[in-house]
């Protein structure tokens, strides 16, 4: 038969061992948490930097611009807008290659095109996920004035509208439909 003192010692020892084990787990979890927080911090900074770069709203490295102004050539291309804002007289040759290809295919098209048709015309994958990513490229070209979204998902180059003196954002969709031979509700 076990005395109450022996049972109390046994329980106390078990509690101390469990506490030591829990403290070791807490230390391990604290180290892992610190590591993951560091990774998250770097990812947040990267996202902010890339958003700033791709939005073209501001230059990330002002010091790099100053270095170029001094003539030492140490400037950085970071912060350069990849897709410039379209202005009359600006040709597709100023666009990066993949964007230029999109504009050129649409310039050759006789009617507005959908993203998946453009992917096929450019020899890109027509998988749904790839087309959705490509659609963001088209939306960027619309935001910068190179393309006009004729209707939901129908894209056409703005120069067709600008040829008659209309600014891309002011042109009505019926003008393009009339030229392109696309009626409302038709699908290219």
Residue 159: per-residue pLDDT = 61
Rounded-to-integer distance, Cα 30 and Cα 4, Å: 38
Separation in Å, CA 119 to CA 68, 91, 99: 39, 22, 12
The residues spanned by each domain of the chain are: 1-81, 92-180
- Fill in the DSSP letter of residue 84: P
Rounded-to-integer distance, Cα 2 and Cα 54, Å: 75
Give the global pTM. Answer: 0.44
Residues 29-56 pLDDT 10s: 999 999 999 999 999 888 888 877 776 5
What is the pLDDT confidence band of residue 163, given thresholds at 50, 70 and 90? low
Does the pLDDT value for residue 68 go beyond 50? no
- Fill in the DSSP letter of residue 90: -
Q: Which CATH number fits domain 92-180: 3.20.20.10, 3.10.180.10, 3.90.25.10, 1.10.10.10?
A: 1.10.10.10
């Amino acid at each position: 038969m076990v005395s109450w003192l022996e049972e109390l010692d046994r329980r106390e020892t078990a509690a101390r061992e469990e506490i030591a084990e829990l403290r070791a787990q807490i230390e391990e979890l604290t180290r892992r948490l610190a590591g993951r927080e560091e990774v998250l911090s770097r990812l947040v900074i990267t996202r902010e930097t890339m958003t700033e770069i791709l939005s073209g709203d501001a230059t990330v490295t002002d010091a790099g611009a100053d270095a170029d102004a001094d003539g030492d050539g140490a400037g950085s291309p970071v912060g350069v807008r990849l897709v410039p804002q379209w202005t009359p007289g600006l040709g597709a040759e100023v666009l990066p290659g993949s964007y230029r290809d999109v504009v050129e295919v649409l310039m050759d098209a006789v009617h507005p095109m959908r993203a998946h048709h453009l992917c096929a015309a450019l020899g890109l994958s027509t998988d749904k996920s790839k087309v959705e990513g490509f659609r963001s490229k088209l939306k960027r070209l619309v935001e910068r004035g190179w393309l006009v979204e004729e209707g939901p998902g129908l894209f056409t180059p703005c120069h067709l509208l600008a040829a008659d003196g209309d600014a891309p954002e002011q042109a009505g969709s019926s003008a393009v439909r009339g030229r392109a031979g696309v009626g409302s509700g038709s699908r290219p």
